[in-house]
């Protein structure tokens, strides 16, 4: 089997990979044991490179095209797939060994994916602020003006210390408090009881993202929530998906 190609965004953090959505695809590839290699692409190079390989763009709220990562290219089938959800579905249908969508759970897991994105959104400015600190110079010069335009505020207004930052922390803590409630309703180790699934990858990748972009003391704060549950869960999922570091 020829290795698949995962297109990802580099950084200055240990291990390089950090981006929430590209990490989702990385975890799925690792869990399924599929050989792959990474092609690193700085932010300003994403659009021209994706056009070059024939990737499908996503859509902005105004309907215009935007090229985003992750994208995978599969030389075994000729497929080029954009978006972490579509990549997960493609890998599941093409390589069904070690399934990530237990029977009839696709809809529920898709709802979880949407819910997680929606509940994180009120705090995303804080995370974007931290992302600017880990990107390489070429990407950060692209990322900052793009996010300033998206949020309609300057970088210094993203998440200033004080009430605004406190609110961002409150949003994140509430997200994981809710996640613990979901876990507490199951009899097994994972969100779908005793069966590992893409739902667990979604939770772990959000944790991995925070761990990579937050300051060390900030990550320790997250890791301490719910009696240390989240650091343990991240460790367990990384082991299942053979992800290091």
Whether domain 106-241 has CATH 1.20.1050.10? yes
pLDDT digits (tens, 9 = 90+) for 26-79: 999 999 999 999 999 999 999 999 999 999 999 887 888 999 999 999 999 999
Angle of CA points 234, 208, 102, to nearest 5°: 60
Report the candidate in 96, 187, 114, 138 with the shortest Cα–Cα distance to residue 9.
Answer: 138
Tokens (6 digits) for 151? 């949020």
The per-residue pLDDT for 15 is: 85
**CATH topology for 4-94?**
Glutaredoxin (3.40.30)
**Residue 165 · residue 156 · CB < 8 Å:** no
The per-residue pLDDT for 187 is: 85
Q: Is a pLDDT exceeding 90 seen at residue 204? A: yes
The per-residue pLDDT for 61 is: 79
**Residue 176 · residue 226 · CB < 8 Å:** yes
Q: Is a pLDDT exceeding 90 seen at residue 157? A: yes
Q: Provide the mean pLDDT of the chain.
A: 96
The per-residue pLDDT for 151 is: 96
Q: What residue ranges do the domains of the chain occupy?
A: 4-94, 106-241
**Residue 206 · residue 120 · CB < 8 Å:** yes
pLDDT digits (tens, 9 = 90+) for 187-200: 888 998 889 999 99
Q: Is a pLDDT exceeding 90 seen at residue 114? A: yes
Long-range contacts of 222-225 (CB under 8 A, 24+ apart): 222/172, 222/176, 225/173, 225/176, 225/177
Tokens (6 digits) for 67? 């090229």
Q: In whole angstroms, what is the distance from residue 108 CA to residue 179 CA?
A: 14
**Residue 38 · residue 17 · CB < 8 Å:** yes
CA atoms within 13 A of residue 73's CA, in its CB half-sphere: 14
pLDDT digits (tens, 9 = 90+) for 174-183: 999 999 999 9
Q: In whole angstroms, what is the distance from residue 80 CA to residue 83 CA?
A: 10
What mean pLDDT is predicted for residues 18-31? Answer: 98
State the residue for tokens 């719910």.
226
pLDDT digits (tens, 9 = 90+) for 90-99: 999 999 999 9
The per-residue pLDDT for 244 is: 86
- Provide DSSP, 168-179: HHHHHHHHHHHH
What mean pLDDT is predicted for residues 124-135? Answer: 98
> What confidence category does residue 230 fall into, taking pLDDT thresholds of 50, 70 and 90?
very high
């Amino acid at each position: 089997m020829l290795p698949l190609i995962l297109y990802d965004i580099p950084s200055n953090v240990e291990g390089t990979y950090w981006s929430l959505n590209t990490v989702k695809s990385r975890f799925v590839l690792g869990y399924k044991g599929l050989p792959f290699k990474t092609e690193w692409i700085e932010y300003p190079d994403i659009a021209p490179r994706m056009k070059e390989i024939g990737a499908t763009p996503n859509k902005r709220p105004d309907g215009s095209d935007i090229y985003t990562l992750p994208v995978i290219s599969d030389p075994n089938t000729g497929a080029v797939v954009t978006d972490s959800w579509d990549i997960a579905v493609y890998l599941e249908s093409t390589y069904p060994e070690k399934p990530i969508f237990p029977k009839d759970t696709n809809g529920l897991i898709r709802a979880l994916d949407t819910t997680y994105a929606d509940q994180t959104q009120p705090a995303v400015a804080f995370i974007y602020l931290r992302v600017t600190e880990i990107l390489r110079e070429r990407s950060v010069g692209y990322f900052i003006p793009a996010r300033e335009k998206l949020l309609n505020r300057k970088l210094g207004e993203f998440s200033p210390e004080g009430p605004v930052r406190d609110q961002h922390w409150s949003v994140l803590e509430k997200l994981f408090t809710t996640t613990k409630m979901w876990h507490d309703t199951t009899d097994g180790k994972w969100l779908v009881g005793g069966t590992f699934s893409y739902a667990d990858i979604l939770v772990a990748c959000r944790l991995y993202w925070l761990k990579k972009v937050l300051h060390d003391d900030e990550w320790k704060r997250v890791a301490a929530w719910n009696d240390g549950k989240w650091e343990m869960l991240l460790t367990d999922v990384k082991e299942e998906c053979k992800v290091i570091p």
